[in-house]
Each structure stands twice: as C-alpha cells, then as structure tokens.
Amino acid sequence: MLEIGGQVEFLSGLILIILGLVVAFFGRKLAKILFFLIGGLIGAFLALLVSSAFIQPPYTYFAAVAGFVILGLIFLLLMRFGAGILAGFATFLLLRDVIGVLLAVVLALVVLIIVITLFDKILSVITAFVGSLIFVVGLTQAEIPLPGALQLAIIAVITILGSIVQLKT
C-alpha cells in the first residue's frame, strides 16, 4: 500500500500524464478556446464596469454578454497577429546586438510574416511539444523511472504524433 505522500505523487503524476496527452493531441483547439475565454472575460468585466455607470442592472448583464462575445472574438482573431508580433520582437531583441539594428528589424519583420502565415502549423507543433513535456513530467511525478534517452524518445514520438493529429484536423 502506498503512503499518503506516494498516493498524492502518483495521482498528480497521472493527472499530468492525461493533461499532457490532451495538450499534445488537442492543444491548438484548446489554445483558441482559452484565448476566446480570456478575451471574453476581460470584455465582460469591462462592459459591466463601464455600463453600470450608465444603465440599470438588468441591462448591464446584456452589456456584459455583448462585451464577452465581442472582445472574445477580437482576442481570437488577433491571436495570430499577436503571436507574430511577439516572435518578431523576440527576434529583434535577440539579434540587435549581434547583427545590428537595421538587419535585426528586417529579420524581425520576416519572422513576423512567417509566424502570421504559418500560425496554425506552428501552434500545432508547439502545443504537441509542450504536451509531450507535460507527459514526461507526469511520468517522473508518478515515480516511473525512465532513462534520459527513453524520455527523449517519448517526447519525440508524442510530439510527432500530436503534430500529425493536430495538423490533420
């Protein structure tokens, strides 16, 4: 029989294993849902905050729902552009001291365009990779000892399979 600590570690490891597989195989859809929900919650909060100064409570809830839908859609639609901006900015920050500001700006713009163009594919691969990392951390947490080479192989296989599944859907 496992001790309480062992049961907790095994259970948390099992949760991480399941979460890792879900993220690896459905991460792109989950990311989009998450962005919509985050934007929606911000929109609902702002609409409720602003509308309460102008209209009475039953109508403020309609404003909150409208704010949820509108800002949720804006977040969802701008997710691709935001990722491009972040990637371009990171490229600029990493390269400006190495190759000069002008060339760093040009490369940052190229990266921005590439990320915007290939966003769904990049998001699929990144979420598959992150899911595979969570899976391996879950194995470690559940006290399933694996050599480093086997962990790398598991990460590679889950990343490849997760990318294939996400790119086909």
**Binned average pLDDT, 10 residues per bin, the chain of 169 residues:** 66 92 93 90 92 87 93 91 90 90 94 94 94 94 89 96 93
pLDDT for 1: 42
pLDDT for 72: 92
Residue 13 to residue 69: CA distance in whole angstroms: 36
Q: Which runs of consecutive H residues, i.e. helices, occur in the chain?
A: 4-51, 57-99, 101-117, 119-141, 148-168
pLDDT for 53: 86
The total of other beta-carbon atoms located within 10 Å of residue 17's CB is 19
pLDDT for 8: 79
Report CA-CA distances (Å) from 85 to 75, 109, 116, 167: 14, 9, 9, 23
Q: Which tokens is 122 given?
A: 């990049």
pLDDT for 4: 59
